[in-house]
Structure 1
Amino acid sequence: MSRSPVLQKCQAGIARGWQAATRLLGRPQVRISFDIDDTLACHHHNCPAESSKLPGFIHDWLGEPLRAGTRELIRDLRRQNCSVWIYTSSGRTPAYIKRWLLLYGIRVDGVVNNDRHLHMMAEHGLSRPPSKHPGLFDIDLHVDDSDGVRAEGIDHGFRVVVVSAQDDNWTQKVLDATAKVHAQLAWHQPQRYGQLTRQSVAPQWSANQSLGQ
């Protein structure tokens, strides 16, 4: 006897919830994702680019300019026990993205591109899916240049810090937002996240606060 569609949907939802819980229990790190266009790669805003020991033609062939400050920012996040991801709406492949960042000595732990995003939206059956949904990938904080993505975060319950292409202080903005997320998680789940920050943990950080203001 075949299962009803409602029962199948409920069982699939339970299975996804169990998988997410299993991933969460296995990862005490704070997971942070970055957009690419106009965030890490600012082609049209004359942003300073990271220097490289490799010849320019190699970057022209294998990658694109990386925003200055990215390399040190990623190092700082790693020192804070953060897991670093890329979440882009573009069609860049994970292999391309990882290779591009490795040209600058940067390793990422995961990549969500448009194909993977659409697959996840279809899997969850969202009738009006947002352009990005970091929460479905266990991402605790997403860095983007779009105020529209921040609005989607408010509607769908995920954290976003917005950094513009013209913001010279963008790396500190990300670090400040990361500190707030550390505090939020350590306050709500001290048994898992209490050791991630040496700062005093206070209850004033609300999960619904807008980050990076």
Structure 2
Amino acid sequence: MSGCQRVRISFDIDDTLACLPHHSAAEQSRLPACVHRWLGEPLRRGARELMGELRRQGCSVWVYTSSGRTPGYIRRWLMLYGIHVDGVVNSVRHERVLAERGLLNAPSKLPRAFDIDLHVDDSEGVKLEGHDHGFRVVVVRPDDERWAQRVLEAVADVQAQLAWQQPHRFKAPVRQGAEVYSS
């Protein structure tokens, strides 16, 4: 495994992985449209290939959403596209873990509470919370066609930081120029 050596990366759902049709093109589903509408939301184009590339690099892929969608729903939805995630943090799990830690006025997301090294979100507000609370965020706009490449670049940057900060845990990354296109 080259690349990110078990870097844990999480993705928001709304306007990040699931986008409205007028914001972003959707991945092709393997199921008929009528069945798919009943079972899940459209997945943003490029997500399947991006997740595959992150897996090839050895990353642990998570979903972190402030919505109340259940982990089972999220896992089934992503499996419709052939995507497996290692963990899911929804609003219920977020609130429970933060309450256990005595964090009552915590931010809307706190990836470091789940050992997440990088969070991908569409919200500049979450990025500001990351700055204030010490977690890394890469912001991708719903209409950004190069969003997957931006995520891969952010993962390489995080890997380089972790290799420098924790050399016993991480090796320095080898930039391979991997590109994921969302065309």
**TM-score normalised to structure 2 length:** 0.90
Runs of 4+, deviation exceeding 6 Å: none
Letter in 2 for 1:198: V
Listed one character per residue, the Cα deviations across residues 150-187 of structure 1 (whole Å, up to 9, x for unaligned) are 00000110000000101111000000000000101111
Deviation at 1:44, TM superposition (A): 5.9
- 2:95 matches 1:109: no
Q: 1:161 aligns with which of 135, 138, 142?
A: 138
Q: Which has the larger radius of gyration?
A: 1
Aligned residues: 172
- 2:63 matches 1:86: yes
Determine if contact 1:45/1:165 at 8 Å carries over to the other structure. Answer: no
Aligned equivalent of 2:37? 60
Q: Secondary structure at the match of 2:72?
A: helix
Aligned equivalent of 2:117? 140
- 2:170 matches 1:193: yes
Aligned equivalent of 2:75? 98
Aligned equivalent of 1:122? 99
**TM-score normalised to structure 1 length:** 0.78
Q: Secondary structure at the match of 1:32?
A: strand
Unpaired stretches in structure 2, ≥5 consecutive residues = 176-183
Cα distance in 2 for residues equivalent to 1:58 and 1:83 = 29
- Percent identity over the alignment is 65
Between the two structures, name the one with larger relative contact order (CA 8 Å, sep ≥ 6): 2
Q: Secondary structure at the match of 1:181?
A: helix
Deviation at 1:53, TM superposition (A): 2.2
Say what the alpha-carbon RMSD is for the aligned residues: 1.4
Structure with more of its chain in helix, by fraction:
1
